[in-house]
Structure formats: C-alpha cells, structure tokens
A and B are shown apart, each in its own frame.
Chain A
Amino acid sequence: MAEKVISARDLSLTFDTGDSPVHALSKVNLEIGKGEFVSFIGPSGCGKTTFLRVIADLEQPTSGEIEVNGMTPQEAREKRAYGYVFQAAALYPWRTIEKNVALPLEIMGYSRAERNERVARTLELVNLTGFEKKYPWQLSGGMQQRASIARALAFDADLLLMDEPFGALDEIVRDHLNEQLLELWKRTDKTICFVTHSIPEAVYLSTRIVVMSPRPGRVTDVIESTLPRERPLEIRESAEFLAIAHRVREGLRAGHSYDE
C-alpha cells in the first residue's frame, strides 16, 4: 500500500448517554493509503459518521489509537490536514459564495491576492464560476453543496472527509455530483473518505468500500473495488459493478442479522 494517511488500531468510542452507554465504535482497525477513495457504508448508528468525526478531531476516541498523516487527529487538524464536507452545505448565510469559500483562507491567514486566486480556482473546479456574488439562499441545494466542497478544497488539504454530502439531494443531481466528484478526485489526487448510505453511490465512487454495522458500531467487511479508475455513469449497469454492489448488500445484511 502507498503512504498511509489514516491508520486506526482497536479504535473504540463509547458515548455516555445517562442510562446505557452507546458503543458508537468498537475495535475498528483500518488503514487508508494516499490517493484512495474510501466509502463508509452502513445503516444509521453504525458509527460511520463517528469514525469520520474522530479523524477530524471532532470526537475523542475512548480507547485505541488513530493516526492521521502519522500524527494525532488534533495535530493533524491544527496543521489543517483535511477539508470536511458536512451533510448540509453549512454555508454562512451572511456571506456570498466567494466569501464562504474564502472563509477558511481568511482564518488560515492567506493574503488577499492568494485568497482571490484560490477562490476563483476552486469555484471553477466545482463549476460555480459566475456565482461568486450570490448569497447561499439564491442557489439550489446541489449548488450550495458544491460551494461547500469548494470551501473544503480551497486550502489544498490532501485529505477530504465527506459526511453524506449528497444525502439530501435528489437522484439526478446526486448522479451529476458523483461524476464531478470522481473527476475532481482524478485531477487532484486527494485521499477521500466518503460516508454514504447509498450502495450504488459507494460502489460507483470508491476504490475501497468499508461496510459497517451498528450496536456496537464496527467494520464487518472491507471490499476492494475492481472497477477501473475511469468510470462513466454507464459502468453502473455492468456485471462487475452489480457484483460488487451485491457483495456490499450481502455484507450489510450479514451485519444486520446480528441484531435482533
């Protein structure tokens, strides 16, 4: 495997919720190499979002180890190692699109000229050129989410953490954004961790699919994709694609039968 970006060993996280503790993550072992596109899939409560948040230093693990770029998540965060895309676009409503994309750059102390250059470049990358001066409410949901991706890309972090970024969008927009995301991944060679609950989305995008199951949240299967890097939308009707999707579905079902 190439250079390791993320490595988790026996990672566990338990939330204390008064009456009974919730085991959001239980002994998760996972390594993610540079340039991979890894999807996390599973039913709600399986800890996929929690895992992403641990990488981002938004949650603290209860036990086990995790390294991001060979550092603790906190050090990685302070080094601005990753860009995070949330479930909702989370754009600041009082900022225009360009000001929203410039927000991390302002915080990280980029010069005005550098900011302008980067904002223009990343907005072009997500096909939002021409919408710089618009406010978020003037854009459709899909465009808002693209702006939030631009914002995560603006400071050139090598790692992109995406938490169900297209979950709230309709199928047509989602297909389109999936294509664009793949295109962007190929062009920028970033490492992407992508949380989803859609099997086709996971199979279409990923080089590796991590299947998780709830109570306790754990990894039940890791599936290497055999699909080529070049993936037109039609690939989703190929036998190979369907075989992988089938395996993901089997994995999800196996995790579930554990339950009741």
Chain B
Amino acid sequence: MSGLRGFVADRLLPVGTIVLVLLALWYVFAYVMNAPFQRDLDRRAGVTRTQSEFIAATMSQPKPTMPAPHQVAQTLWKNVFLLKPWSKRSLVYHSGVTLASTLLGFLMGTVLGVVIAVGIVHVPSLERSFLPWIIASQTIPVLAIAPMIIVVLASIGVTGLLPKALISTYLSFFPVAVGMVKGLRSPEVMHLDLMHTYSASKAQTFFRLRLPASVPFFFTSIKVAVAASLVGAIVGELPTGAVAGIGSRLLAGSYYSQTIDIWAALIAASVVAVLLVVSVDIIGRVVNAAMGGRPA
C-alpha cells in the first residue's frame, strides 16, 4: 500500500480508533472520579440538577480530581497558542526550556555513550572493569541522584541548563553505550576476515566496517536515549525550585492543585517526546536510505 490511502488504512485508522477509545474511557473516568465531590458540593449548596446537568458539572470543575479531555484541551490551547511564546505562563516557553536541556543532555549522552562503546570494543580490560559500573549506575533511581547533582553543582556555582542536561546525559548515555557495543561488534566474521586479508589497520577497520555496520544500532539506541533525556530534563527541573520548564509546571500545578495545568503540561511533555522520537526516526530513515538500505 502506498500514498494517502495506504496511510489512512495502515496508520490513521488503527491509531485513531485507539485514540477515540481512550478519549471515551477518559470521559467515563472523569465522571466517575469527579462525581462524589460534585454530589457533595451540590448537597451543601442545596442545588438539584438533572442527570445531564450533573454530568456536565462534573466536567467543568475548576480543580477536578480528573479533568475532562476538553478542559485539558482548552488550557492547552490557551497556554500554547493564545499566550505569547516568551510569556512565563506559555507552555511553548516551558517546553522550549525543557527541550534545550533535553537536547544538550542527549548530545552529551550520545557522545559519551559512543566513546564508552568504542573503548569497550577496543580495550578488552575496559569491558571487565567498566561495564559493571555502567550497569550499576543505571540501578540508582534518577529521582535520588538528580537533586544531588543539582545541589552539588549549584554549590560550586553551576546552575541553569548544564545541571539539568547532566541528568539527561546520565540517563541517555547508557542505551547508546550498550547499543553501540553491540553495533560495533555486529560485523560478520567474514567481513572482519576480509579486512584482515587486506592488512587493514584498526582505524581502517573501525571507520570502514565497524562504524557503518553499527549505524542501525545507533539509531535504535538514540531513539530510546532521546526519550530518556526528556525524562531526565523534567526530573532535573523538579528540584530547581520550579523556575521554568515542563517539570516546574508539573510541580507548580501539584502545589496549587491545578490538575488541569498538570495534565496540560503532561500532554505538552508527550508532544515534545513524540516530536523528538519522530525526528530521530526520520533522520534514521534518511541515513538508512543514503547508505543503500533496502526501502521498507
């Protein structure tokens, strides 16, 4: 299948169906979860409503337990499109702040991961001495280590983008390192033997065989890494005292029980995540095509 019709049948229809089902479920849950509070409120105010009025009321509370989708959509619309992007209340502004540290952290994490992988593949003792530490580093909950990094760096005067980016780096280097070790080791024995028959140097074997062979592994792992970087950036924003970023919006929302704002920030975060993963995917496809990959 190809073209628009193929897209509709293969992608839009199945994905759209799930979205509709989720939205319907969301409305049901919003009603179920907001109903007790609304009932309580109405009883104290002495208001009697018809069933449909009651349902509508559960969907329009200012601070609902579970905001209805349209409430989140309204807030999202206002905070994204109606406010100026540089306004402190604009989600575009906050998303931009988070995106900046995500990308910086992702970049550093990717470089670090590749460097570690190259080291492990070429120096056998590194694998035994280094790999256990790398794996151990990922067993520490990021929520525990993030505030430490922020506090320690702040005490030596490093604040702002870098500490948050470092948390992203911490989360994103691991999938890249593991994926690249696998990728750099992926060439077949025959391909390696071929290099040996040419008396190729280690560097020649690396750049002409190991590196190109690892490219598919690279894109698979940075897709995971970029999503992890976003999580790292948001977590990094929580202990900064809620200055800016999606994380700070989540924190501020929970301080003041602004559930609608929390949900709007969550949606913004997932939109950013989707954009990041899709961008990586598109770059991966372009590179694959440029490297003579069979069109899927």
Contact (A58, B196) CB under 8 Å given A88-B190, A90-B190, A92-B212: yes
Pair B291/A94 contact, Cβ less than 8 Å: yes
CA distance A23 to B189 in the complex (A): 22
Counting CB contacts under 8 A, is A249 at the interface? no
Pair B292/A93 contact, Cβ less than 8 Å: yes
Counting CB contacts under 8 A, is B50 at the interface? no
- Residues 196-231 of B contacting A (Cβ, < 8 Å): 196-200, 204, 208-209, 212-213, 215
Taking the nearest CB of chain B, how far is it from the CB of A30, in angstroms? Answer: 20
Pair A84/B197 contact, Cβ less than 8 Å: yes
**CB neighbours of A82 from chain B (8 A):** 197
Pair A95/B197 contact, Cβ less than 8 Å: no
**CB neighbours of A94 from chain B (8 A):** 212-213, 215, 291-293
Chain B: CB-nearest residue to A155 = B198
Counting CB contacts under 8 A, is B193 at the interface? yes
Counting CB contacts under 8 A, is A86 at the interface? yes
Chain A: CB-nearest residue to B292 = A135
Contact (A77, B208) CB under 8 Å given A90-B188, A90-B190: no
**CB neighbours of B291 from chain A (8 A):** 93-94
**CB neighbours of B194 from chain A (8 A):** 84, 86, 90
Pair A80/B212 contact, Cβ less than 8 Å: no
CA distance A136 to B191 in the complex (A): 14
Taking the nearest CB of chain A, how far is it from the CB of B294, in angstroms? Answer: 5
- Residues 94-151 of A contacting B (Cβ, < 8 Å): 94-96, 103-104, 106-108, 135-137
**CB neighbours of B198 from chain A (8 A):** 80, 103-104, 107-108
Pair B197/A56 contact, Cβ less than 8 Å: yes
**When each residue 55-80 of chain A gets 1 if its CB lies under 8 Å from chain B and 0 otherwise, what string results?**
01110000000000000000001101
Q: Interface centre among A77, A92, A135, A137, by most B CB within 10 Å? A: A92
Pair B191/A92 contact, Cβ less than 8 Å: yes
Q: Interface centre among B190, B196, B199, B215, by most A CB within 10 Å? A: B199
Pair B208/A107 contact, Cβ less than 8 Å: yes
**CB neighbours of A135 from chain B (8 A):** 292
Taking the nearest CB of chain B, how far is it from the CB of A133, in angstroms? Answer: 10
Pair A86/B292 contact, Cβ less than 8 Å: no
Pair A96/B193 contact, Cβ less than 8 Å: no
CA distance A95 to B198 in the complex (A): 17
Chain A: CB-nearest residue to B288 = A94
Pair B190/A80 contact, Cβ less than 8 Å: no
**CB neighbours of B191 from chain A (8 A):** 90, 92
**CB neighbours of A106 from chain B (8 A):** 208
**CB neighbours of A88 from chain B (8 A):** 190
Contact (A77, B197) CB under 8 Å given A95-B292, A137-B294: yes
**CB neighbours of B204 from chain A (8 A):** 107
Question: Among the listed A57, A107, A136, which residue makes an inter-chain contact with B200, where contact means beta carbons less than 8 Å apart?
Answer: A107
Taking the nearest CB of chain B, how far is it from the CB of A92, in angstroms? Answer: 7
**CB neighbours of A107 from chain B (8 A):** 195, 198-200, 204, 208
Chain A: CB-nearest residue to B200 = A107
- Residues 79-105 of B contacting A (Cβ, < 8 Å): none
Taking the nearest CB of chain B, how far is it from the CB of A82, in angstroms? Answer: 7
**When each residue 176-195 of chain B gets 1 if its CB lies under 8 Å from chain A and 0 otherwise, what string results?**
00000000000010110111
Q: Interface centre among A78, A84, A107, by most B CB within 10 Å? A: A107
- Residues 250-296 of B contacting A (Cβ, < 8 Å): 291-294
**CB neighbours of B208 from chain A (8 A):** 92, 103, 106-107
Taking the nearest CB of chain B, how far is it from the CB of A250, in angstroms? Answer: 34
Question: Among the listed B188, B193, B213, which residue makes an inter-chain contact with A58, where contact means beta carbons less than 8 Å apart?
Answer: B193
Pair B193/A86 contact, Cβ less than 8 Å: yes
Taking the nearest CB of chain B, how far is it from the CB of A159, in angstroms? Answer: 11
Chain B: CB-nearest residue to A148 = B194
CA distance A78 to B200 in the complex (A): 9
**CB neighbours of B215 from chain A (8 A):** 94
Taking the nearest CB of chain A, how far is it from the CB of B290, in angstroms? Answer: 9
Question: Among the listed A80, A92, A136, which residue makes an inter-chain contact with B199, where contact means beta carbons less than 8 Å apart?
Answer: A80
**When each residue 157-170 of chain B gets 1 if its CB lies under 8 Å from chain A and 0 otherwise, what string results?**
00000000000000
Known: A90-B194, A94-B212, A94-B213. 8 other contacts (CB 8 A): A82-B197, A84-B193, A84-B194, A90-B191, A93-B291, A94-B293, A107-B195, A137-B294
- 21 A–B contacts from the bound complex (CB under 8 Å): A56-B197, A57-B196, A58-B197, A84-B193, A84-B197, A87-B190, A90-B190, A90-B191, A92-B191, A92-B208, A92-B212, A93-B292, A94-B213, A96-B292, A104-B198, A107-B198, A107-B199, A107-B204, A135-B292, A136-B292, A137-B294
The 3 closest A-B pairs by CB, nearest first: A135-B292, A94-B291, A90-B190
